Amino acid sequence: MATYKGIKGVKVVTKTADPTASEAVGTVWYNSTGDALKYATQGGGVWASGTNYPQTFQEFPGSAGTSTAALSWAGYQQGGSYLNSSYEYDGTTWAANVSMNRSPGAYTQGLGTQTAALSGGYYRTSPAATLTDSEDYNGSAWTTTNPTINALGKRTGCGTVTAGLEAGGDDIGPAAPVATSESYDGTSWANVASLNTARSMAATHNGVLTAAFTIGGASPATNIYANVEEYDGTSWTETTDINTARKTLQGFGTTALALVFAGEPSPTVITAATESWNGTTWTEVADLATARFSGGSTTGTTNTGGLCIGGSLGPPGSSNAVEEWADPSYTIKTVTVS
């Protein structure tokens, strides 16, 4: 009869406590405390619950960073309240930060990292206006910078505080969404090539200044897109569509490895669908636990980890729930004998 040592060349070790699942993949051990034979497996990506955002009913925030070093700011609260607060996340806890200099608002866009983030343009409710205000965050304070050229919200944003890009958007008023794009060099905003398809409410945070995605979106609200455009630093080019057309979706990653999730496939439907991009194909992967739209998301540089922050649940309300994506996922299992 074959033994584990005969197959693997090593004995089954005894441990009083389980190792981490990721470290244990491919091994078998005996847990003497629990009197159980165990092993670990590696699976596809999954969403798991994170720590709730401190502000209740958050929608349309700015956000940046990674799942263990995130920053989120501004946003809209159910009932009509707007925010200018910001919070840092270390993977476990949200900590209050200094407030922004601008008046409370939402429909902003974010780019960069937790300690070097940029927010350009937003919508203010009192008095109502779409503004060009731009601010950057250095890890301890928000500083007012040169304004954007166009007064727009609901834009897609990516890159860094010295090489940033924003595209599309609208003025939260009667005007239709636009195709306008702007780049940021750390000092000033400049108009660059326009999108092929005017849109707002597209997925944000996918790429860098010279290799960026704008994904999905709508123009006007009932014309909802699956198409994806890629920017190479000079022009926008149509590339592979996502599988589910939607607006108000979120995303993170790059033009080589990206993830998009949540959103509205129609004005009356909310989705939890998640799609992963490997540089060639969009593939349906594990859904969010809660369908939502218009939340925040981290930026990151890959499709293997990131956050979905808050968002709207549609009538009757919104959510401050945070979900964390991990790909691959690891699980410890117990050997059973039937």
Helix, strand and coil content of the chain, in percent to the nearest 5, comes to 5, 50, 50
Q: What is the pLDDT of residue 283?
A: 97
The per-residue pLDDT of the chain, averaged, comes to: 92
Q: What is the pLDDT of residues 18-75, one digit of tens each?
A: 999 888 888 899 999 999 999 999 888 999 999 999 987 778 899 999 999 999 999 9
**Share above pLDDT 90 across residues of the chain, in percent, rounded to a whole number:** 76
Q: What is the pLDDT of residues 250-285, one digit of tens each?
A: 999 999 999 999 999 998 999 999 999 999 999 999
| Contacts with 4 (C-beta within 8 Å, 6 or more apart), sequence order | 10, 11, 12, 28
Q: What is the pLDDT of residues 129-139, one digit of tens each?
A: 899 999 999 99
This prediction has a pTM of: 0.90
State the Rg of the chain over Cα.
Answer: 22
Among 81-95, 120-134, 233-247, the least confident range: 120-134
Q: What is the pLDDT of residue 5?
A: 63
CA distances to 107, 116, 200, 215 from 82, rounded to whole Å, are 10, 23, 20, 26
- The single residue listed with the structure tokens 């263990």 is 68
Q: What is the DSSP string of 276-298?
A: EE-SS-EEEEPPPSS--BS-EE-
Specify the domain boundaries for CATH 2.120.10.80 within the chain: 46-326
Among 5-9, 107-111, 218-222, the least confident range: 5-9
- The single residue listed with the structure tokens 């159980």 is 36
Q: How far apart are the first and last CA of the chain?
A: 19
> Can you name the CATH fold of 46-326?
Neuraminidase (2.120.10)
Cross-strand partners of 85: none
CA distances to 76, 150, 313 from 110, rounded to whole Å, are 15, 16, 22
Count Cβ atoms below 10 Å from residue 249 Cβ, excluding itself: 30
Distance CA 228, CA 6 (A): 52
In 3D, which of 54, 88, 82, 49 has the Cα closest to residue 69?
88
Q: What is the DSSP letter of 147?
A: P
In 3D, which of 154, 114, 164 has the Cα closest to residue 307?
114
- Reported confidence tier of residue 8, pLDDT bands at 50, 70, 90: low
Cis peptide bond upstream of 328, omega within 30? yes
Structure tokens of 127? Answer: 């008095």
- Pairing mode, strands 318-326 and 28-31: unpaired
